[in-house]
């Protein structure tokens, strides 16, 4: 497979090729009627997490050269770095789609939902009950209603909380369809290490940024931990740590009344200057400018 011939699709590219998004804040998008997207039938790689919920008809497609078939009430979770090809659908096909930037993924993960996340990585198609589908549609309808009635929209925080509830209920619904009996015994060492590492990153009390400290706690070398992470996620351990840390920083900067100094201290930065450089490196703005750019406090 020649990667140079595969179109790369980032989340911020979607509005450029599809102008009928129902919601877009740069990190999360919602859409329907994806059959009208130009070039949908061509091979492309998604660099974000996508959730597709089939409301009617059928859909088939290849994910990394493996074919999957979906019918009504099936949901598909596409992980980042997955190559999509050979998309075909019935004439009566309809769906809802949610795209999530990898930068916000950790804010939706906690220990009780980690089982769902691990299942998604190897089993992207989930057949859900009608009640589960109805609940997801109600969330979608609520979001689109608020977008269509800006006078009733009380700010970015409201939308994000609705989306957060959507994500939790989605993962909880998926979790109901997973048989957990004996799974821990079936996992190989690398799988167990990666799962434990992800649980450690999802722990809201963790502020560690050192690969070595995580590796020591897992009783492996930093090099082995990084190789396991690359195998399971295409990211290094250091990159996954940074994603988790910056996700938590963004949450506190935008949705708490803590001062920047308090956020830095809580996240384990002893030096306020280093904290500012860390945030600017990952978010492109200083902590104060990031708050202003996102209308913090308004």
Sorted by where each starts, the structural domains of the chain and their CATH numbers stand as 3-176 (2.60.120.280), 187-293 (1.10.10.60)
The pLDDT-based confidence of 175 (bands split at 50, 70, 90) is: low
Tracing tokens 């590219």 back to the chain, one arrives at: 13
Q: Is residue 104 a contact partner of residue 35, using CB atoms and an 8 Å limit? A: no
Angle between helix axes 272-283 and 237-255 (nearest 10 degrees) is: 100
The pLDDT-based confidence of 221 (bands split at 50, 70, 90) is: very high
Least-confidence region, from 60-74, 153-167, 277-291 = 153-167
Spatial separation of the C-alpha atoms in residues 142 and 183, rounded to whole Å: 37
Find the mean pLDDT for residues 155-163. 71
Spatial separation of the C-alpha atoms in residues 275 and 290, rounded to whole Å: 13
Degrees, nearest 5: CA angle 68-69-75: 90
| CA-closest candidate to residue 200, choices 183, 218, 185 | 218
Q: Are strands 44-46 and 7-9 parallel, antiparallel or unpaired?
A: parallel
pLDDT recorded at residue 189: 74
More confident residue, 5 or 108: 5
Q: Is the pTM of this model over 0.85?
A: no
| CA-closest candidate to residue 30, choices 170, 174, 173, 163 | 163
């Amino acid at each position: 497979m020649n990667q140079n011939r595969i179109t790369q699709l980032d989340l911020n590219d979607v509005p450029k090729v599809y102008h009928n998004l129902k919601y877009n804040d740069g990190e999360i998008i919602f859409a329907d009627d994806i059959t009208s997207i130009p070039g949908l039938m061509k091979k492309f790689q998604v660099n974000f997490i996508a959730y597709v919920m089939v409301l009617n008809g059928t859909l088939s497609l290849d994910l990394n050269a493996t074919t999957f078939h979906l019918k009504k009430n099936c949901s598909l979770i596409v992980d980042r770095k997955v190559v999509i090809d050979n998309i075909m659908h019935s004439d009566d096909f309809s769906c809802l789609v949610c795209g999530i930037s990898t930068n916000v993924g950790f804010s939706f993960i906690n220990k009780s939902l980690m089982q769902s996340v691990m299942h998604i990585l190897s089993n992207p198609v989930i057949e859900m009950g009608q009640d589960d589908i109805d609940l997801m549609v109600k969330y979608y309808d609520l979001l689109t209603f608020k977008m269509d009635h800006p006078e009733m929209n009380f700010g970015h925080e409201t939308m994000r909380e609705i989306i957060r509830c959507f994500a939790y209920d989605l993962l909880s619904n998926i979790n109901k369809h997973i048989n957990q009996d004996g799974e821990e015994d079936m996992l190989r060492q690398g799988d167990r290490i990666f799962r434990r590492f992800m649980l450690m990153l999802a722990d809201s009390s963790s502020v560690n940024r050192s690969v070595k400290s995580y590796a020591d706690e897992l009783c492996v070398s930093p090099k082995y931990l990084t190789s396991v992470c690359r195998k399971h996620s295409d990211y290094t351990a250091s990159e996954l740590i940074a994603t988790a840390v910056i996700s938590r920083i963004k949450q506190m900067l935008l949705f708490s009344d803590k001062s920047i100094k308090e956020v830095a201290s809580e996240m384990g930065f002893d030096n306020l200057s280093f904290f500012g450089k860390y945030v600017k490196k990952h978010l492109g703005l200083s902590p104060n400018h990031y708050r202003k750019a996102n209308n913090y406090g308004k």
